[in-house]
Amino acid sequence: MAGVKNNKTVFHGWLYKPSRFRLLVGLYPPLLGAGVRVSHIADDWTSGAITVRVYPWTANLHGAAFGGALFSATDVLYGMMLAAQLGRRFEVWTKAASIDFQAPGRGRLELRVELPNDEAERIRDEATREGVTQVIHHVDIVDSSGTVVAGADHTMRIRLRANDTAPQAPSGKR
């Protein structure tokens, strides 16, 4: 059907505007309760930052950040930035992820994500050409002194949506 967007709800369509994305992530109950907030998102989706505040309800028995809150913070930004830059012809999914906890996280924690346009363009070209591709994105969570609290790697799977097809490569035959 022409003109139909691939949105599950009205909120899904709103996510593609940075200011609305920031607001909706801040209201999303699992992230709200975990103290996860989008503190910055560039209008062109090339950079963003997330803060995690350690509250009594988000701390473990040692008073440090609960690992699940840290892990959830690492899963929010890169995938959305990539999806927004690639456009709605593409699906972006986290295929696998791992986290390495390196130091107790206390107070205000932060992670920054950079996604230059040329990186997104390279990923778009590969996914268009191959129909599907994967990229690994690494992000560090740091405390206010700059100490790395945790590092996470996410394997992202990017593919053309089912109703879209990659252009056919020339066969060389005439």
Instruction: Give percent of the chain above pLDDT 70.
Output: 86
Q: Is the pTM of this model over 0.85?
A: no
What does the pLDDT look like over 6-58, one tens digit per residue?
556 665 666 778 888 898 888 889 899 999 999 999 999 999 999 999 999 88
**CATH number of the domain at 10-160, please?**
3.10.129.10
| Residue 135 contacts residue 122 (beta carbons within 8 Å) | no
Best CA proximity match to 98, nearest among 71, 120, 124: 71
* Cβ neighbourhood burial of 120 (10 Å; 0-12, 13-18, 19+): buried
Query: 110 pLDDT band (50/70/90 cuts)?
Result: very high
Average pLDDT over residues 74-80: 93
Quick: pLDDT tens for 150-162. 999 999 999 998 7
